[in-house]
Structure 1
Amino acid sequence: MNKPLLAALSSLAIAGVGAAPAVAAPQAKAAAAVTVNFAGTVSLSNCSGSVIRFPNSADTDPALVLTNGHCLETGFPAPGQVITGQSSSRSFGLLNASGSRVGTLRANQVVYSTMTDTDVTIYRTTTTYAAIRSTYGISPLTVQDTHPTAGTAIKVVSGYWKRTYSCNIDGFVYRLKEGDWTWKDSVRYTSACNTIGGTSGSPVIDTNTGKVVAVNNTGNEDGQRCTENNPCEVDASGNVTVRQGINYAEETYLIPACFTTGNRLDLSAAGCVLPKP
C-alpha cells in the first residue's frame, strides 16, 4: 500500500516506494482539459483524501470525505470485513486551489469502509456542501459513475503532501493481491505517477472532466511478490505479474449507485455491488 505516513516513515527507518477533414470544414478541436488543483482535497493525520459528491447529491446534503480503507483511524479492516455506521470524530484539513489549508472539517460517522474488493473509507462530515462553499468558496469533487478508460490522462492529488502526480491510466488489473487483501479491477498507472507513503487516499482525477475516477492506494516498492507494500497482478487464469515501481488505485465508479437521497448509504439499492457486511 501507499502506506499511511507513519508506516511509511517506519519502513524507511528499517530499510535505511483518420483522415483529415475537407479543407472547407473546420477541424474539430479536442476538448480542453480542466484545471486540476488542490481545491476540495483534504489532509488527514496520516493520509490524503477529498470532499466528494455524487451526480445526484444535493447542496444541502452532508458533505462526504473519501480516502482509503487502510487509512481508517481504527486500523486496517480485515479481509472480508465491511464497516458501516461507525462513530467517528476524525478531522480533515480542507485545502484551497493553491494547497493552503483554509479550514477544518470534522466527521461524525464512518459511513462505509472496507479493504475487500476495493480499498475505500467514506466519512460523513458535520457540515453540508453549501456551507463549505459559503464559508470557504470550495466545491466538492464529483465521483464519475462510469468505468474509467485506459489511456486517460489523470492527476493524483495528495492533500497530505500538497503534491500532484501526472500520468495516464495504463490499464486495469483483474485482481491485485497484497498480503491478505485482494482488490478487483484495479487501475494501473503509467510509471510517471510514482506515489509515496502519505498519498494513500488521494483522489485520481480525470484531467478532461475534473471528475474522480479512482482513489490512490498502493504500489510495488521492492519487487517482492504479493506481500504488503508489494502488490502483484493476477490475471483471470491465475498468472502472476510483479511490476516493481508501478503504482495503483481502486476504481470509484461503483460507489454512487450505493447512495440515495441525502447521501445515505443503501447497500441494497438497485445497481449497488459494493461488498456488504
Structure 2
Amino acid sequence: MNKPLVGAFLAALLLGAGAAPVVAAEPAQQAQTQETAPKAGPEAKAVTFAGTVALSNCSGSVVRSPDSAPTDPALVLSNGHCLESGFPGPGEVVVDQPSSRTFTLLNASGDGVGTLKASKIAYGTMTDTDLSLYETTSTYQQIEDSYGIQALELETAHPTAGTAITVASGYWKRTYSCDIDGFVHQLKEGRWTWKDSVRYTPECQTIGGTSGSPVIDDTTGKVVAVNNTGNESGQECTDNNP
C-alpha cells in the first residue's frame, strides 16, 4: 500500500487518531468531518528530520510518551502495513514478536547519523488503525548521547481541524506542509477499516514511501498522527483507494 494517509494511534500510548490527505476532486472522502477552525496562537516551530528514521520500505520516527524515562528502550513508530512480516489481516494484532529490523536515524538536515536495531515488534495492526511500534535495543538516553537527537513526543490530546502540520518522511528525506482538514469516522480500504482518520488539506500530496511518517503539529512539535494512505486512482474502498 503506497500511502499518503494517516492511521489512528495505539490508544494506550498514542492518540487514537489517524490522518488521511485529501486528494483533489475526490468527493468520496467528504464524509463526517469537523469544521476547519481559524488559526491562532503561538508561532509555528521549524519542523526538521531530527528523530525521523528510514526503513527499507517506509518512513518512521523515534517516539516517546510524556512519561517515558531516559532509560526506557526507545520506540520506533511506523505503519502496520510496513511490517517486515507483511500486512496483518483484518482483526490481527502482532504483539511482542522478536524482530531484528534496522532503522537509519536522521539528523535535522536529513543525514543518516546512525543505525538503530529493533529487539521486537511491540505492537502492530491494520485493524481500526494502521500502526506498528518497535522496541529498540537502545535507550532514549543512549540515542541522545551518541547522536545528539531526542525522540519526538507523542501528543496525548486529540488533534483539531485547522492545525498546521508537517509530514516528515525519513525514507524520501522530504517534508509536506498543510493543515488538518477534518476527520473521517470510518475509512475503508480493501479488506481493512480504519477509524477516526485525519484528513489533510490538498497541499500534502504524499507518495509511496511516506507511509509511517510522523505527522507533526507545527506549533508544539509533537506527533499527532502517522501517515498511511491516499486515493491513487479515484476508485472507492479498494486497495490504495480508500
TM-score range, shorter chain: 0.7 to 0.9
Partner of 1:234: none
* 1:91 and 2:102 are equivalent in the alignment: yes
Partner of 2:59: 48
Partner of 1:161: 172
Identity of aligned residues (%): 71
Q: How many equivalent residue pairs?
A: 207
The runs of 5 or more residues in structure 1 that have no matched partner are 5-28, 232-277
Displacement of 1:34: 1.2
Q: Which residues of 2 match residues 239-250 of structure 1 at below 5 A?
A: none
Displacement of 1:223: 0.4
Q: Using the alignment, how far apart are the partners of 1:50 and 1:117 within structure 2?
A: 21
Where in structure 1 do 4 or more consecutive aligned residues deviate above 6 Å? none
Deviation per residue, 1:4-49 (Å, 9 max, x gap): 9xxxxxxxxxxxxxxxxxxxxxxxx931211210000000000000
Partner of 1:185: 196
Preserved CA contact (<8 Å) 2:3 2:206: no
Partner of 1:211: 222
Give the structure-1-normalised TM-score: 0.74
Preserved CA contact (<8 Å) 1:2 1:195: no
Q: Which amino acid aligns with 2:225?
A: A
Matched position secondary structure for 1:218: coil
Partner of 1:119: 130
* 1:170 and 2:181 are equivalent in the alignment: yes
Partner of 1:273: none
Partner of 2:236: 225
Q: Using the alignment, how far apart are the partners of 1:74 and 1:221 within structure 2?
A: 24
Q: Root-mean-square deviation (CA), in Å? A: 1.1
Q: Which amino acid aligns with 1:106?
A: K
Higher relative contact order (CA 8 A, sep 6+): 2
Q: Using the alignment, how far apart are the partners of 1:214 and 1:95 within structure 2?
A: 19
Partner of 1:2: 2
Partner of 1:24: none
Preserved CA contact (<8 Å) 2:76 2:136: yes
Q: Which residue, out of 80, 95, 98, partners 1:69?
A: 80
Deviation per residue, 1:167-223 (Å, 9 max, x gap): 000000010000000000000000000000000000000000000000000000100
Displacement of 1:116: 0.2
Deviation per residue, 1:245-268 (Å, 9 max, x gap): xxxxxxxxxxxxxxxxxxxxxxxx
Displacement of 1:110: 0.2
Q: Which amino acid aligns with 2:71?
A: T
The runs of 5 or more residues in structure 2 that have no matched partner are 5-39
Preserved CA contact (<8 Å) 2:3 2:227: no
Q: Using the alignment, how far apart are the partners of 1:169 and 1:218 within structure 2?
A: 15
Preserved CA contact (<8 Å) 2:118 2:135: yes
Q: Which residue, out of 186, 196, 206, partners 1:195?
A: 206
Matched position secondary structure for 2:229: strand
Q: Using the alignment, how far apart are the partners of 1:38 and 1:2 within structure 2?
A: 21
Preserved CA contact (<8 Å) 2:121 2:135: yes
Preserved CA contact (<8 Å) 1:155 1:167: yes
Matched position secondary structure for 2:228: strand
Preserved CA contact (<8 Å) 2:106 2:112: yes
